[in-house]
Amino acid sequence: MAELNSDSGAAGHGKKGKKRAKKQSTRVDMTPMVDLAFLLLTFFVLTSTFSKPKTMEITFPVPPENPTKQNTTLVNGYTFILTGENKVFWYQGEFKEVPKNGKPATTLTEVKFGEDLNKFLLDKNDLVVKFIKDLKKKRISKQIDDTTYKTLAIEAKAKKEAPFFVIKADDKAVYRNLIDLIDEFNICNIGKYAVTDITIGELNLLKQSIK
Amino acid sequence: MPKVKMPRSSPSLDMTPMVDLAFLLVTFFILTASFRNPEPVQVLTPSSTSSKLMPENSVLITISNDGRVYYNVNGFDVRKNVLQRMAKKYKIDFTAKEIEEFGKMSSIGVSMQNLAKYINTEPGMREKFPSSGIPYDSINNQLKDWIQYGWIEGATKYKEIKETAEALGKQPSIEPLRFAIKADGNANYIVVKEVIKTFTDLKIYRFNLLTNFEQGPEE
């Protein structure tokens, strides 16, 4: 059949006496290329990760040159002790195993993570929190620019009157508690804090408090 | 009755704009993609409101929830040099091929004695390798050496890049070396404390603790 047709076609052309070149289509089949493009697209969409992990910067205290001369009295400050089962205890000021100078021995108080802790810290750090709130208002009303805000905020956090916070943990504490506590400090504009080792006296007191 | 003739439209439609877009996206994803190195352990970091980004050029210590410690440092050349220094210190010989392979790897969690065996394991099988973590106790503190050599090599590399960039009047392509700790939320604090003590013994006091971002209270 085909031959017949082509014969007749040839005959048809023959009548006019001209041989025309067959017109080739300019279209190329792009389907395989597009398939590949979409395959690659799907692959990259699924494998790429956009969010880089976030970090929290922390600076540890440089140990003193001669530890014997170390001044360990913590006058305007609070010590937090982390322990197992997500519990955290605190005491104020210097640690006293027995009553000293007419002041009672240290007792530990428990504070719950979350709202309780947040309220506690905001209350104790009242001075700085108020000051920073003020600064924020000034920044919003464009009285100060961003860089001065930052330097002023850092200065405010390092104020002499601001309380100092110490974090200690026993061997039952988990890492998450530490991060939660430091995070809460950051939220409550606490700039003065340090992570140190727990003492034997504190460990004993902690054992009694848990019971 | 004459049949109503529907206007016949061609079944092939013009896909050019769609293909253009597809290629645009492919190009975008290829250029922006950075592949995550396979990690030997799954670590669930605790969340915090901190929004600082993870430093790109870092010595990273990973702590799993059962207290195993892993070490990683960025850069192919840096890794190779660190391994050569470690090999010298622990008097363990590595072949050139092993050193090359180590340069391409990510976190390691085996002692120096098992490292050659670990390197020679097929990449797909490394997950099943019984890695006990890098020893960090005071008698056999291999972690300390890893960190120290990583620090030396990382800092040297940064200096080199910085100097060549400055000679050309450009910004260096990498950041200064930082130290990061990626610990699981359920990891015992004692282990983290020991790792931090290893750092402070080397007079390194600033770290980045890796956390998951979590929206903080309204400002």
How many whole angstroms from its chain centre is CA A190? 16
Under an 8 A CB cutoff, do B32 and A60 touch? no
* Residue for token pair 């910085």: B162
B29, A48 in Cβ contact below 8 A? Answer: yes
The pLDDT of residue A192 is: 80
Q: Does A58 touch chain B (CB under 8 A)?
A: yes
As a whole number of angstroms, the distance between CA A133 and CA B14 comes to: 59
Under an 8 A CB cutoff, do B210 and A55 touch? yes
CA distances from B83 to A187, B87, B116 (A): 41, 6, 11
Give the pLDDT band (50/70/90) at residue B71: confident
Q: Does B184 touch chain A (CB under 8 A)?
A: yes
User: What is the mean predicted confidence (pLDDT) over B109-136?
Assistant: 81
Q: Angle at the Cα of B164 (from B160 to B168), degrees rounded to 5?
A: 165
How many whole angstroms from its chain centre is CA A82? 20
* Residue for token pair 């003193």: A64
pLDDT digits 0-9 by tens, A26-63: 777 778 888 888 888 888 888 776 666 788 888 877 77
Cβ neighbours for A19, distance < 8 A, ≥ 6 positions apart: A13
B112, B88 in Cβ contact below 8 A? Answer: no
Residue type, B180: A
As a whole number of angstroms, the distance between CA A86 and CA B147 comes to: 31
A106, A100 in Cβ contact below 8 A? Answer: no
Identify the residue with better confidence: B21 or A202.
B21
Chain A residues with CB under 8 Å of B33 CB are 44, 47-48
Q: Does A57 touch chain B (CB under 8 A)?
A: yes
B82, B155 in Cβ contact below 8 A? Answer: no
The alpha carbon torsion through B102, B107, B109, B111 (nearest 10 deg) reads 30
Question: Backbone phi, then psi, for A11, in 5-degree steps?
Answer: -65, -40
What are the structural domains, with CATH classification, of chain A?
74-125+163-210 (3.30.420)
Give the pLDDT band (50/70/90) at residue B217: low
Instruction: Determine the residue among A140, A175, A183 to mutate to test chain B binding: the one whose Cβ has the most chain B Cβ atoms within 10 Å.
Output: A175
pLDDT digit string (tens) for chain A, length 211 residues: 444 444 444 444 444 556 677 777 777 777 888 888 888 888 888 877 666 678 888 887 777 666 554 555 667 788 888 888 888 888 887 777 777 666 777 777 777 777 787 887 888 777 778 787 787 787 787 777 777 777 777 777 777 777 888 888 888 888 888 888 888 888 888 878 888 888 887 788 887 777 6
* Residue for token pair 């956390």: B211
The pLDDT of residue B35 is: 62
Chain A residues with CB under 8 Å of B194 CB are none
